[in-house]
Chain A
Amino acid sequence: EVQLVESGGGLVQPGRSLKLSCAASGFTFSDYYMAWVRQAPTKGLEWVASISYDGGSTYYRDSVKGRFTISRDNAKSSLYLQMDSLRSEDTATYYCTEGMSWGQGVMVTVSS
């Protein structure tokens, strides 16, 4: 059974950093592109970033370019999202996904 379990969320002040992790199991992690998708409270889904099989290619939405870094460790079947210079508009539930399966999400709140 495919499982994606996010962790690392919480309350953080504007301008500070946070690193999200996603532990994957039940499939060959290195065979899949992975992505982070977020959902602000009461809002729709918003793609954040994607990473290729070996991490050689990364893609970001404009609003997070230069602030967020997606990475992966295939040996650990883990996906990461380093979030720097956080803003109030980054407040959302962040989901880890390979497209078909999604984690339960982790909440990030950016507030002073």
Chain B
Amino acid sequence: DIVMTQGALPNPVPSGESASITCRSSKSLVYKDGKTYLNWFLQRPGQSPQLLTYWTSTRASGVSERFSGSGSGTYFTLKISRVRAEDAGVYYCQQVREYPLTFGSGTKLEIK
């Protein structure tokens, strides 16, 4: 199984500052079609997960430009610019390169 390892954040993050969350995979997430199958989700307290980005860096419909995904191979980053109170929650990376699909353990973002 592909293991996804997420980094922590130096919480709380002051409102208006930027925050970057790292995610490493135990195997390359590049598929034979050339795409890299890495998703980022945000789960706000008491809510269902929300897809933020897929294919590493493509923002999902309706997602703010303040969220940007980057990376390649086995190392990925989600950057949140100018954080706001509404960005608080737990962020998860997920690989959909192969089954079983696997998630990182989550990174909590608190806003000051």
Q: Give A contacts to B, CB under 8 Å.
A: 35, 37, 44-47, 50, 59-62, 95, 97, 99-105
Contact B41–A99 (Cβ < 8 Å): no
Give Cα A100 to B23, complex, Å.
20
Contact B99–A45 (Cβ < 8 Å): no
A50-B48 contact, Cβ under 8 Å, with A44-B106, A45-B92 = no
Partner of B51, one of A35, A50, A100: A100
Contact B60–A100 (Cβ < 8 Å): yes
Contacting residues, chain A, for B102 (C-beta < 8 A): 47
Contacting residues, chain B, for A47 (C-beta < 8 A): 94, 100-103
Contacting residues, chain B, for A95 (C-beta < 8 A): 48-49
Q: Which residue of A lies closest to B103 (CB)?
A: A45
Complex A-B, nearest 10 residue pairs according to Cβ-Cβ distance, in ascending order: A47-B101, A102-B48, A59-B99, A45-B103, A44-B106, A61-B100, A100-B51, A44-B105, A45-B92, A102-B49
Please name 15 further chain A to chain B contacts, defined as beta carbons within 8 Å, in addition to the given A35-B101, A45-B49, A97-B49, sorted by A numbering: A37-B49, A44-B90, A44-B103, A44-B104, A45-B94, A47-B94, A47-B101, A50-B101, A62-B100, A99-B39, A99-B96, A100-B54, A100-B60, A100-B61, A102-B50
Give Cα A44 to B49, complex, Å.
11
Contacting residues, chain B, for A60 (C-beta < 8 A): 100
Q: Give B contacts to A, CB under 8 Å.
A: 39, 41, 43, 48-51, 54, 60-61, 90, 92, 94, 96, 99-106
Q: Which residue of A lies closest to B39 (CB)?
A: A99
Give Cα A28 to B27, complex, Å.
33
Q: Chain A CB within 10 Å — which of B48, B92, B99 has the most?
A: B48
B89 to chain A, nearest CB (A): 12
Q: Which residue of B lies closest to A61 (CB)?
A: B100
List 26 A-B residue pairs with CB atoms under 8 Å apart, sorted by A's residue number.
A35-B101, A37-B49, A44-B92, A44-B103, A44-B106, A45-B41, A45-B43, A45-B49, A45-B94, A45-B103, A47-B94, A47-B102, A50-B99, A59-B99, A59-B100, A60-B100, A62-B100, A97-B49, A99-B39, A99-B54, A100-B60, A100-B61, A101-B51, A102-B48, A102-B50, A104-B48
